[in-house]
Amino acid sequence: MDIFDIKDKVAIVTGTNSGVGQAIAKAYLNAGAKVLGVSIDDGCASNSNFNKNFVEYPADLIKQDGVDDIVQKCVDRFGRVDILVNNAGTIRRDDAINFCEKDWDDVLNINLKTVFFLSQAVAKQFIKQKKPGKIINVSSVLSFQGGTRVASYSASKAAIQGLTKGLANEWAVHNININAIVLGYFETANTASFRSDPNTNKSILDRIPQSRWGIPDDTVGTAIFLASHASDYVNGSAIVVDGGWSTR
């Protein structure tokens, strides 16, 4: 099973302060990889889930002017970059008729614009290293379904799938694989209000064949697969991890 081995690989993972990003970072570390974790605050550095192969880089990903510094910090600390996981994201809820420009721009900046420019910066590093690289973008089942009161979020996640395919087309010649993990309904801070409302919680669970919310650890197998040699001929794909939600 050496094709799934990511020992000594170097990954940049965004949004490691909680949830899915933290679970993926922990899984990579447990598999022997080194991780630069990017988060809005410094809340994860002292987390017992992390070890000496983890370094934290606090950054506000609503801005793109720091993406080169993120890559350089990783290279300075670990010597190279092998994997990028674009996990960090945000959501704003309001009726589309009332949705304000700031909320629209904030979501698109974090969920799409920074994803592109950080991917670009990492791809340049891959090419400079003359080594293969893996980029994993985190999308959502709302890229297939518009949802309600989340116009900017669903638009950004649909765009992520288009971006994943476009970058795969252009960068495959450099042995760079870009794929997406499409998440269903997970137990994260973004879904706390849904889970606490009995009616909403029931309506969501009724549509999930596995009859439970996803937990962050449900993502790690796919994240390791897409970071390893096992996925070397997988490019521009979107792997759905949703307990079957999108089948109904």
| pLDDT tens profile 104-157 | 999 999 999 999 999 999 999 999 999 999 999 999 999 999 999 999 999 999
Give the domains, in start order, of the chain with CATH numbers.
2-243 (3.40.50.720)
Report the run of H or E that residue 178 belongs to, with start and end: strand 176-183
Model confidence, pTM? 0.96
Residues 232 and 227: their CA atoms lie apart, in Å, by: 9
Distances in Å between the Cα of 83 and the Cα atoms of 79, 137, 187, 228, 229 are: 13, 11, 25, 9, 12
What is the pLDDT averaged over residues 191-215? 95
How many H helices and E strands in the chain?
8, 7
By annotation, the residues acting in catalysis are 153
What is the pLDDT averaged over residues 12-23? 96
For residue 71, give every residue at least 6 positions away whose Cβ sits within 8 Å of its Cβ, in sequence order, or none: 12, 81, 118, 121, 122, 124, 125
Residue 93 pLDDT > 90: yes
| Measured torsion, CA atoms of residues 40, 43, 48, 50, in degrees rounded to the nearest 10 | 30
Say if residues 133 and 83 touch (Cβ distance below 8 Å). yes
Residues 233 and 212: their CA atoms lie apart, in Å, by: 32
DSSP designation for 139: E
Closest CA to 234 of 181, 178, 182, 183: 178
For residue 69, give every residue at least 6 positions away whose Cβ sits within 8 Å of its Cβ, in sequence order, or none: 59
Residue 171 pLDDT > 60: yes
pLDDT of res. 45: 52
Say if residues 99 and 93 touch (Cβ distance below 8 Å). no
